[in-house]
Structure 1
């Protein structure tokens, strides 16, 4: 550990903003609190941290650690105790100054504040509380604040911080307790889940009080979230998604974030990652997470013990549809909203538009395109007024090839056969019937789209 003395504020900022880059648990604010005219800043539902607001603006936040000093020695963490890296710590006033100066220059609209554990959880949580308290009361900042709750800290410190922050999060770190004890021996699952439950209960009580008393203070109005590292331990996607589903149901989380494991330390207990960080796997988990939260799917529908990992070539929704072709095609003019949500190429907005539009008229394929349906994916799973857009076979291998773009076939509506341009290297065994080249049926069946 190298503790650098007498650093400038800019030097600290460079170190502690870089140290925060592996924490992905920040996104749109999710709360709606307007400024009262006496301070600066405000929070809107639109979003923070390189997100797009309802009016099209791209907005961001200042994302830093309060300190990268840490008493823990988690094997996957860049800031672990045993690493020889430059160390720095802000003071509460320095964080406030940075936030205000960045806001005044229109660089940010909010703050994401996390921290390593300095001395013990209580000291760390106390410093975070002091920072947020000063920012709200002395600097009169009314913008978005997302702060990390420190597991093991005094519940009263977490409660007080919750009345000042918009969102709080506690990192689950790893999907299972076994993985946590193996790679982060100083951390315990119970210590993490206890403050998570406290925040959940505090949010529930706060909502009841606000409903009764208009000016009652709100506790974590934007809800809580968590983060899991993916690929550092050998869990399958089914286990990870089941954990996320359980967290949504039991703790009312707003969001579970998945962070592809990046190997920043050399340790015999860490995987080699020959192909680099599992970014595609992370992407599939985010897609599946979206299906859990907005499309009515359950983890057991998408994966199982016999099929524990996602298809890396197909997104989870398309993969599910191909495994349940008995439920398709769906007639868009009479299918329920829930049935429409399960069609690849139809999202939440387009499903709502379909339900609304068909009240006044029967829909055709040209209407679906204007509504926002991705027809190049949906045409294999829907009918309009009892007919397909093209004569297509509802068959798993055929649809899979089309979705993967293996063949670019042109639909031919008269005989149901599709054709493709041949290259010089196609082996087709053509014959000649005296008038033209003829391909045997056994050969052209393989080219049918």
Structure 2
């Protein structure tokens, strides 16, 4: 690896770090005789997680950080004076293979700034994936970022080589997107999403009749929204996410707390640090929408348009609906158990399966993975004599479950002196 390639790697790995929609899951691409790499099995290396919890190392890189667009929130905007670099297709393919042979990575996450036009850039991304698959017989994981505005033909070509594809929505509403990124619109994002969805569904149907038919983006697609750069509330963001999840191919919506990289642009808020707590609450709410059968209007509404930053969304919902509790864990159905704070999908399934043989108490709940310290205020069972939310009231339960503030060094020293 020569010095020029190393310098490009430093620049383009740094430029790629703000894209969080990076996950390696939902696909099985096994190695074949004569091939290199599989999906099961320094600079720019990020760690992602598969559905079974495995940590997977990916080379997260941009093909180029030159860009013709001037998006206010992007470090790579054309008006920024930053170091620029561009990999040739051959350089990036050889770099990926070199990293894989050294066991640094198990796959590739590839994005790019837009040069000349969307189709020109998309064609170069497709060539990278095609060369890896066909010339080097690479069977590792590939995540390709589709360029907004790219043609259907190129998007469909990309899906034949990539395991997952994604198009970043970036700003939830069209109005604010046009204000911060005048060269973009939602149509240019939703069209490639539609092409990916059609390709996945057509491929699945074809494979029902022909087992060896080529797979199209077998891990589906994902997208990303920036949180905090525009005045949308959590209700607006979650409504967009809920609509996206109605597509059978949308696997993940990622939320990226806005990082103030272009402080000179007056259209952007002056944030001292990214809204990481809000970002975390959105991920928790997203999980409830996908796996816990919650609806958006149950988590946020006109009276509470933003998620509670002090407690997680499920606990916040439970505190607003004390009339639903306490729940008898020996008789409640699976759907109701999912709504109990401290009980997850696995614990709820174990409760339903186990209570057919014996009644469940405190010890059994703990063994099943339930967070009993939290759940005990919302359930009844033989061995939990503690007062529930009906006895204590939501305000008292909230106070009991709020994390205690950490003591300062002086306060800890005073406590130790007192004890001594």
Structure 1 length as normaliser, TM-score? Answer: 0.86
CA contact (8 A) 1:62 1:108 kept: yes
User: Which runs of 5 or more residues in structure 1 are unaligned?
Assistant: 1-5, 408-422, 424-449
Identify the residue that residue 339 of structure 1 maps to in structure 2.
336
Inter-CA distance 50–139: structure 2 relative to 1 (3 Å threshold): same
Asked if residue 183 in structure 1 is aligned to residue 180 in structure 2, the reply is: yes
Deviations along 1:143-192, one digit per CA (max 9) or x if unpaired, are 10000111111210110110110000000010100110000000011111
Q: CA offset at residue 58 of structure 1?
A: 2.9
User: Within 2, Cα distance between the matches of 1:54 and 1:181?
Assistant: 36
Matches within 5 A, 1:238-387: 238-250=235-247, 252-265=249-262, 266-274=264-272, 276-385=273-382
CA contact (8 A) 2:203 2:215 kept: yes
Identify the residue that residue 402 of structure 1 maps to in structure 2.
400
Matches within 5 A, 1:208-247: 208-247=205-244
Asked if residue 11 in structure 1 is aligned to residue 7 in structure 2, the reply is: yes
CA contact (8 A) 2:38 2:140 kept: yes
Q: Which has the larger radius of gyration?
A: 1
Asked if residue 138 in structure 1 is aligned to residue 135 in structure 2, the reply is: yes
CA contact (8 A) 1:330 1:382 kept: yes
CA contact (8 A) 1:199 1:224 kept: yes
Q: Which of 200, 203, 227 is the equivalent residue of 1:203?
A: 200
Deviations along 1:99-156, one digit per CA (max 9) or x if unpaired, are 1111111111100000000111111001001110001011111010000111111210
Q: CA offset at residue 199 of structure 1?
A: 0.7
User: Within 2, Cα distance between the matches of 1:114 and 1:176?
Assistant: 23
Considering fraction of residues, name the structure with more helix: 2
Deviations along 1:242-288, one digit per CA (max 9) or x if unpaired, are 111011114641000000000111201010114x1111110100000
CA contact (8 A) 1:365 1:389 kept: no
Identify the residue that residue 168 of structure 2 maps to in structure 1.
171
CA contact (8 A) 1:325 1:394 kept: no
Q: CA offset at residue 94 of structure 1?
A: 1.3
Inter-CA distance 391–308: structure 2 relative to 1 (3 Å threshold): closer
User: Within 1, Cα distance between the matches of 2:266 and 2:13?
Assistant: 28
Name which of structure 1's ranges 23-32 and 373-382 shifts more when overlaid on structure 2.
23-32
Asked if residue 21 in structure 1 is aligned to residue 17 in structure 2, the reply is: yes
User: Within 2, Cα distance between the matches of 1:120 and 1:206?
Assistant: 28
